[in-house]
Structure 1
Amino acid sequence: VFLSDRRNPDEGVIYTASEAYLIRNGDGTTLIMVDGMAQRLEMAGKRLSTAKFRDFSFDISSLVSSDKPRTQSIDAMTTAEMFAQWDQLEAITKSSAGDIAEELAQRFSSAAFCMIAAMIGYATLVLGGFSRFGVWREIVIAFGLLIALDGLRGTLVDTVRDDASRWPLLFLPSLIGAVIVIGMIWQTAHPGWTKRMGKQRGVA
């Protein structure tokens, strides 16, 4: 068991013990440490003193007390909890409605973007076809598309935080990526349509 007490800025105390027990003492809680050592460091003179003990009690009521209201982070909340009234969540988390909307929408849009990123890589490789020089060109194109879409997603975060009603914008990069993927796959399935369009324009 390791316990560090740094409440006093003039000295620091470290307690170590082979085992410890938590004991309820009325409304308080006491930590009983067994077979340990206390190390006290005086900051002024950098003097260290140690003392071994067979048992030692330490009042930790202030550490485990739940009387003070706690602020919960939106990052630690489940998605189901975030579907509650945002007015209540703002009071609990001390966050704005925009922060809550951004966090909630990101949990879904990030998952969608992961799928789109994989599909962009697949569609780019399929569209490139076989080449004796490898697929480095397709890889560069796929990386370029992903960087552009991810950059767009980053710029939309502040927009949603400023106005919670704009949360659907976070799905825009995934939507654009889906359109790109569909276009690549359609081009792969119909490789001759560009040539036919060129001939029709030449005839016209």
Structure 2
Amino acid sequence: MGTFDRYLTGQLLASFGFFSLVLVAVYWVNRAIGLFDDLIAGGASVGLFLQFTALALPNVIFAVLPISALVAILYGINRLSADSEMVVAQTAGLGPWSLAKPVMIFGVIVALMVSVLGHILVPASRTALAERGTELSQDVTARFLKEGEFLHPGRGVTVYVREITEAGELLGLFLQDRRDEATRTSYTAERALLVRADTGTRLVMFEGMAQTLDVRDRSLVTVRFDDFAYDLAGLTGAATSRIQDPRELSTAVLLRADAEARRVTGVGRAKLLSEGHLRFSEAIFAAGLPLLALGFLMLGGYSRLGLWRQIMGAVVSAILLKMLSNVAESAARDDVALWWTLYLPALATLAIGAALTFRSTLGPHPFRRVTA
């Protein structure tokens, strides 16, 4: 790698790191606000919130890296052009393909990063996030720790707590159990406590009343109590096994798309194959975006107004190609024979970038020269 190649690649990587950090921060803050409201308001700790946000970061970075690569090329080449460094390089005899070499090296580096995220880190983080979410959803105690709201911690169960003291005491409790189709029982208590035992969590109610309604003969039985323990075991009704998201599986399992993979995910073979091939196409797309941006930027000559028209052309083309990728993804998820269409937008990105770079080697008016 020559001196200019190292210099330009270093400049692009520095811009890429900066824009990646900014975009990840913006995207993370946008998602963290809703997550913070759901977890902290539900009684979860700050540590649990940080754990969830850390597990969500690989997926955020995976979505942001191609955008950061495009922005880094547009910013870096435009700055070199504005500082006349690009003019000096071209005057020294560096042609379009010489300028494209460090850009392609940069694209390969971005593609490798996207591949590591897509094939390894994102599936692992999604699995850990789903398992942690399942554990949290089965935590009955967290579902009770909301005051002034009617909650449904399990099917056929309704809970209302008027106030929660700093000591964790529940004041003004109402609990209705409709899980038995023959009877409906409503509990009211002046105060209650959640107590953890070896067999599970128990709700201990004080100074209350239980009203049991027989649905068949409409008879009501009322019992007053000084203290009563209600077993919350199995209240959530959560299943012992969960349905896995296809994005949690490894690429090899997705490409096999065997009966076991279809069973654990509950989706068809077309969706599994499309998810597996999508990880490869995303890496190719990320590698092609820098070359596409460079091809557009080299179409314009020196101008006091800068390269804004070329920048807009590169951005619009990238958006259209991404839209085409979404269309191909939707088609591949419905038809198992269309998995190959996922590679068309990514290969088209590389082809357009190479064609524009080749066009720059012909000079500003190639067709006019041929006519002359």
Conserved? CA contact 1:36–1:55, under 8 Å: no
> Matches of 2:143 and 2:283 in 1, distance apart?
41
Q: Which amino acid in structure 2 is aligned with residue 157 of structure 1?
A: E
Q: Is 1:36 paired with 2:168?
A: yes
> Matches of 1:186 and 1:167 in 2, distance apart?
30
The one of 316, 330, 334 aligned to 1:144: 316
Partner of 1:51: 191
Q: What does the per-residue CA deviation read over 1:2-43, in whole Å, with 9 as the maximum and x for residues that have no partner?
A: 5225337563157x899xxxxxxxxxxxxxxxx632352468
Partner of 1:134: 306
> Matches of 1:182 and 1:8 in 2, distance apart?
59
Conserved? CA contact 1:113–1:174, under 8 Å: yes
Q: Is 1:178 paired with 2:350?
A: yes
Percent identity of the aligned residues?
A: 20
Q: Cα distance 1:118–1:62, how it changes in 2: closer, same or farther (>3 A)? A: farther
Partner of 1:30: none
Q: Cα distance 1:55–1:136, how it changes in 2: closer, same or farther (>3 A)? A: same
Partner of 2:117: none
Q: Is 1:93 paired with 2:265?
A: yes
Q: Is 1:106 paired with 2:278?
A: yes
SS at match of 2:142: strand
Structure with the higher fraction of residues in strand conformation: 1
> Matches of 2:237 and 2:356 in 1, distance apart?
58
> Matches of 1:49 and 1:128 in 2, distance apart?
77
Conserved? CA contact 1:4–1:13, under 8 Å: no
Partner of 1:123: 295
Shift of 1:88: 2.1
Q: Which runs of 5+ in 1 are unaligned?
A: 19-34
**RMSD of Structure 2 on Structure 1 (CA):** 3.4
Partner of 1:159: 331
Partner of 1:4: 143
Q: Cα distance 1:17–1:174, how it changes in 2: closer, same or farther (>3 A)? A: farther
SS at match of 1:158: helix
Q: Which amino acid in structure 1 is aligned with residue 288 of structure 2?
A: I
The two structures have a TM-score, normalised by structure 2, of: 0.41
SS at match of 1:12: strand
Partner of 1:188: 360
Structure with the higher fraction of residues in helix conformation: 2
- Higher relative contact order, chain-length normalized (CA < 8 Å, sep 6+): 2
Shift of 1:137: 0.5
Shift of 1:85: 4.1
> Matches of 1:110 and 1:99 in 2, distance apart?
16
Partner of 1:29: none
Q: Cα distance 1:139–1:62, how it changes in 2: closer, same or farther (>3 A)? A: same
Conserved? CA contact 1:79–1:104, under 8 Å: yes
Shift of 1:81: 3.4
Q: Cα distance 1:123–1:3, how it changes in 2: closer, same or farther (>3 A)? A: same
> Matches of 2:241 and 2:160 in 1, distance apart?
28
